[in-house]
Every structure is written in C-alpha cells, then in structure tokens.
Amino acid sequence: MIPTPFRVLDRLREGRPPRPDEVRAAVAGAADGSWSDAQLGAFLMAVAIHGLDAAAVRELTLAMLDSGERWDLAADLPTLTDKHSTGGVADTVSLVLGPLLAACDVPVVMVTGRGLGHTMGTTDKLEAIPGLTLEHERPAVARLLARHRLAILTSTPALAPADRRLYALRDQTATIRSIPLITGSILSKKLATGAAGLVFDVKTGNGAFLTDPAQARRLSEKLVETCRGLGRAASALLTDMSQPLGEWAGHTAELLATFDALEGRGEPDLMAVTSALAVEMAALVGRPVGEAELEDAIASGRAREVFVRWAEAQGGDPRWLASPRFELAPVETAIEAPRAGVLARVDTRQLGLLLAEAGGGRLGPEPIDFGVALRTRARLG
C-alpha cells in the first residue's frame, strides 16, 4: 500500500529517516501533483536533516527517473559517455570537452544546467550563440550522436520531471545542500539519457558548491556508489575551485575561451582539468584515449570543426559560426592590487557573485547580460 503524505510526515516528525517506500511515495506525489508544496517541503526538510540510507537514495533516484522518459541511447552507442560538474567560476570545461572527445570518436551526450547563485551554467553559455537550441527529443538526439558524436541538451520536461518540481521547492526551503537530494537530482537526469559511463567533476575549494573538502568527497562517493549500484559505470574526480578555473568568466567570454582552447590556445588549468576528465571518461567506457590523441584532435582542427558542425546541427546560425563575433560589455573597470606581492587567496564565490550582480548571472528573474565578464589576471602563487 502506498503511504499517504500524512502518514509519512507523521513518522518523519518523530525523527525517523525516510524509508524507501516513503521516498517513492513522495516523488510520485511530486510528479502527479497529489502531494502539496507544503507536504513536499516538509519531506525535503526531513531528508536534509536526517539523511537517507543507501537503499533510500537508490529509490529516490529510481523514482525520479521513473517520472519521465528513459532514452537508453547507449543501446546503439556502447561507448556513449557523459560528465557532470558540480559547478564553479570560469568552469568552461564542458564546452571544450564535448567536441574534444567527439573528435576522438568517443560519443558524448551532456545534459547541462543553468546557472545557480555564483556559478554559471553551460545551458546559459550556449544560449549566447544565436539560434542554438538545447531542448531536443530522443530521435533528434540519436541523429546528432550518429552524425556528430555530440549532443548537448538542457534538462527537458521529459527527463525526470519530478526533479523539476522538487528542485524548485528545495530552492525555496533551503534544502539544496543535501547530499542525498543532490545525488538523486543529478543522477535521475543523467541516467535518463542512458549514457554507458558517467564521470563526476566534483569541485572543492571556496568557489565550489560544497566548500568543505570532506563533504565534496562524500558527495563524489555517494554519486559513484549509487550510479554503480544502478548498473552504470561511474567515477569521479575532485578538482580545485579555490580560484576561477580560467582567466575569463562570463557567458560570451567563456565562449571566446572555448574557441581559444579549441584552436590550441587554452589556458593551462582549464586544459589540465579538461584532459583529465576526457581521459577518465574514455577509459570508463572502454575506449581509452591518451593525451597525445587529445592534443592531435586540437592541433588538427578536428575538435573545432566538430564544435561548429554540431552547433549548426542544433540550430546555431551558420553565418555567425563561420566567423564568431563576441561582444563584451562596453564599460571596463580595472581593479589593481594596492601593492606588489604574492596572491595567497582568492574569494572565488564572491567573484562569481560580483559577476552575477553585474548582470552576468542568474540571481533573479532578469535576463542574463551575456557580455558581462570578469577577467582575473593573477593566479594563486
């Protein structure tokens, strides 16, 4: 028997952690509207406070997955891979990584997200390309992968729709920062496309979503353990976000940085994280790719070519893509150090918030100003 919302919440009020059947009931109630916002908010807070055991996290993930379509794209492409980043500042990795691996004949499907707080999202960055669209149905995605080895999407209502409602409520109830809820939310969308392997780029440091390294490690372990438990290959890298990953942060600016990277002028830290993830993703699906192959994909121009052809196939304006023009904001302000010295610490989160507050991020309902950018010239040390 499916427990009613009242019975579930009555038990949770006693401080008992939610059971798998209660988790499934709440997610089903989120999807079919039979649980109210108040009931779901109370449920989410109970999970955030008391946590979930491994069986309940698995059930949360599966129930969210079952609320939408399952595409099973790896049935035709057994080396199909995806990666998820927990987000940071100047994290341009996805834009470079996708075409790079595709150019090495490793197919990549990426479900990307929008910016959140001080971090920017790949979905928003790609929307700065005129005409490009990110909501596509399964047949179109299969065609993109067959032709270009690359499909970059945003989470559509078809994929894990229960997560849409729960995520919006988590935002309102301060329950975003909960490892079991983050795990179910990320995995349900990623598993829905059916990539054969998933690599998680879990950021640590003061610009990360989870600043405490121990928490970041726990999240990475939970993601990998849950994913493997559901029969999907997975691994995680913990990467540093104690300074912006690249010199440029901002939507248009990061597209410029992407073209620079695909033309062989990538910034060292950005390229180091991108290569490490690419090598890991390819190995995970049994099609190992070495650094030399990645370098060749860039030096030969293949990776750039894949980006342009793929972007055209997803609606990007071909004339614009033939000679991309990016306009940065017309007003420039330089902030200089008052004296010479060694850079010992960067408040990365505050830099991300500054960029967002200047119009270059998603802090409220206002549209993003794609041209707003932040350039940090000095690196730690």
Residues near ligand URA, by CB under 6 A: 113, 176, 181-182, 185-186
Which residues is 238 bridged to in the sheet?
A: 202
Q: How far is the CB of 200 from ligand URA (least distance, A)?
A: 11
Active-site choice (19, 136, 164, 170) = 170
Instruction: Choose between 208 and 294: whose C-beta lies nearer to ligand URA.
Output: 208
Closer to ligand URA by Cβ: residue 101 or 181? 181
Q: How many Å apart are CA 305 and CA 7, to the nearest integer?
A: 57
- Report the distance separating Cα 184 and Cα 346, nearest Å: 32
Give yes or no: 170 in active site: yes
Query: Under a CB-based contact definition with an 8 Å cutoff, are residues 229 and 106 in contact?
Result: no
- State how far the Cα of 134 lies from the Cα of 315, in Å rounded to an integer: 9
Smallest separation (angstroms) from ligand URA to the CB of 381: 30
Query: For residue 69, how many C-alpha atoms fall within 13 Å in the half-sphere facing its CB?
Result: 13
Catalytic residue check, 171: no
* Amino acid at residue number 157: P
> What angle is formed at CA 127 by the lines to CA 321 and CA 145, rounded to 5 degrees?
70
* Residue listed under structure tokens 């990360």: 208
Structure tokens at 252: 């248009």
- Measured from the CB atom, the residue of 56 and 100 that comes closer to ligand URA is 56
Active site residue 94: no
Least distance (Å) between residue 335 CB and ligand URA: 30
The two three-digit tokens of residue 359, written as one number: 């119009």
Among 94, 178, 185, 275, which one carries the catalytic annotation? 185
185 is catalytic: yes
CB of 251 to ligand URA, least distance (A): 19
DSSP calls for 192-235: HHT-SEEEEEEEESTTSSS-SHHHHHHHHHHHHHHHHHTT-EEE
Which candidate in 164, 189, 190, 302 is catalytic? 189
- What is the smallest separation between the CB atom of 181 and ligand URA, expressed in angstroms? 6
Of 82, 91, 124, 163, which residue is the catalytic one? Answer: 163
Residues 6+ apart with CB under 8 A from 335: none
Give whichever of 30 and 182 is closer to ligand URA, judged by the CB atom: 182
Task: State the amino acid at position 101 in one-letter form.
Answer: L
Q: Catalytic: which of 24, 58, 84, 125? A: 84
**Which CB sits closer to ligand URA, 182 or 281?**
182
- Enzyme catalytic residues: 84, 163, 170, 185, 189
